[in-house]
Amino acid sequence: MNILIYGFGAVGTVLSTCFKLSKGDNIYIYRKHKANHHEFVPQVEIATGIRQKVSLFSNPVKFWDKEKIDIAFITLKASTLPDSLLYLNENISKDTLVISLMNGMGWEDYFKDYNIYYGLIMYNAYKENDEKVHLASKGEILLDSRIEGMIKDKVCGLPFVFTDNISSYRYRKLWLNTLNGFLSLFNLSLYEIFNDKEKNKDGKILSLFGAFLKETEVLYELLSIKTDRFKSLDPQDLIELIDKIDKKLELDDRQKNMLVNFTRGKNSTLQSIEQKEKTEYRYIGGYLTKLADKVEFNYQLNRFVTDEIAYYDKTLSLRKIDEQTLNQFLK
């Protein structure tokens, strides 16, 4: 079997270590800038807290040179569409099984001519300055149950979950991914917004974060969008945790554990901003804002974050959020 990982950033690198290969199996990769070597073994640094729970494989990968592909996983940043698909469009068979693991929604038409299925990546992976890939959390990989029989014998290492409700989970992940935009405006990791009082301005930003997440909960209710809760990090978990912190209530053991183990890594939106690249947030907050417009829902905080990230995408410059703006939203 020939497997292609199309888009080989941090997420794609970790994915390449989650296959149990048999004789004759190959993993091919595509990324914009090729290295000098044709074949190499990706290295992933696993966070200390999850090393005993994760078993990854040191699989060799090869740069794709138009070989016939059986299964293609798309792990591109949506911000690179459609230009990043040119090589795929020119060189892959239309009957290849294509599985998109990209963030966001609203880009599906780019794949309308493919045998396309959707999935979700729930683990957190990022690159440091040394280009080493770090796996920060042991999140599952959710895939459409219709393709289970085709790949279940090949996938392992991280939890692979096959579900009949992938559409519902995509909306849930969209909600979860909005935190990338919010945290990026304040240059915070998820760990810092809960644990760093100075950066959090003594709870002001955390309270605002809770209100921000609740807006999408209301939006989904207005649109009658029913979404299933994630077993790993879930937006409802964050809302409940913030409510308890705001009310100075005692946290349960699970919530205490969450506080300690929140990822310290930078989310994908913040990574793009720091690298002076366009973000994919228009397919996250931008998509949800369009849904809010359809039902004439104010969506005030999310609209503000979406507009600020959109400003960055046009200028590659992020505006500073001052105290007056914070206080305006906290009224």
Query: Where among 164, 182, 202 does a domain terminate?
Result: 164
> Could you tell me the CA-to-CA distances from 60 to 25, 41, 115, 124, 241 in Å, in that order?
11, 4, 27, 22, 41
The answer, yes or no, to whether residue 130 has pLDDT greater than 80, is no
The token duo for 197 is 């009082």
Number of domains in the chain: 2
Q: Are residues 56 and 70 in the same domain?
A: yes
pLDDT band at 34 (very low <50, low <70, confident <90, very high): low
- Residues 6+ away with beta carbon under 8 Å from 235: 172, 175, 176, 179, 213, 216, 217
Q: Are residues 99 and 146 in the same domain?
A: yes
DSSP secondary structure code for residue 92 in this structure: S
The answer, yes or no, to whether residue 259 has pLDDT greater than 70, is yes
Q: Are residues 120 and 135 in the same domain?
A: yes
| φ/ψ of residue 63, rounded to 5 | -70, 135
Domain interval for residue 317: 168-330
Instruction: Report whether 106 contacts 287 (CB < 8 A).
Output: yes
> What is the distance between the alpha carbons of residues 104 and 178, in angstroms, rounded to a whole number?
9
Instruction: Report whether 315 contacts 307 (CB < 8 A).
Output: no
Q: Pick from 4, 7, 243, 232: which is nearest to 102 by CA? A: 7
Sign of CA dihedral 209, 108, 95, 35: negative
Q: Please report where in the chains the tokens 């591109």 appear, as a residue.
A: 76
Q: Are residues 133 and 177 in the same domain?
A: no
**Per-residue pLDDT, 293:** 97
The answer, yes or no, to whether residue 126 has pLDDT greater than 90, is no
Per-residue pLDDT tens digits for 264-321: 878 889 989 998 999 999 999 999 999 999 999 999 999 999 999 999 999 999 998 8
- List helix spans (H) across 41-165: 86-91, 148-151
**Per-residue pLDDT, 267:** 87
Query: Where among 164, 180, 197 does a domain terminate?
Result: 164
Query: Where among 131, 148, 164 does a domain terminate?
Result: 164
Q: Are residues 135 and 180 in the same domain?
A: no
DSSP string, 62-88: EE-SS---SEEEE---GGGTTGGGHHH
Q: Are residues 120 and 68 in the same domain?
A: yes
Which CATH number is 192's domain given? Answer: 1.10.1040.10
Instruction: Report whether 242 contacts 206 (CB < 8 A).
Output: yes
pLDDT band at 125 (very low <50, low <70, confident <90, very high): confident
Q: Are residues 174 and 304 in the same domain?
A: yes
**Strands of the 141-144 sheet, one edge to the other:** 39-40, 61-63, 26-30, 2-6, 71-74, 97-100, 115-121, 141-144, 160-163
**Per-residue pLDDT, 231:** 85
Cβ-in-10-Å burial (0-12, 13-18, 19+) of 150 comes to middle
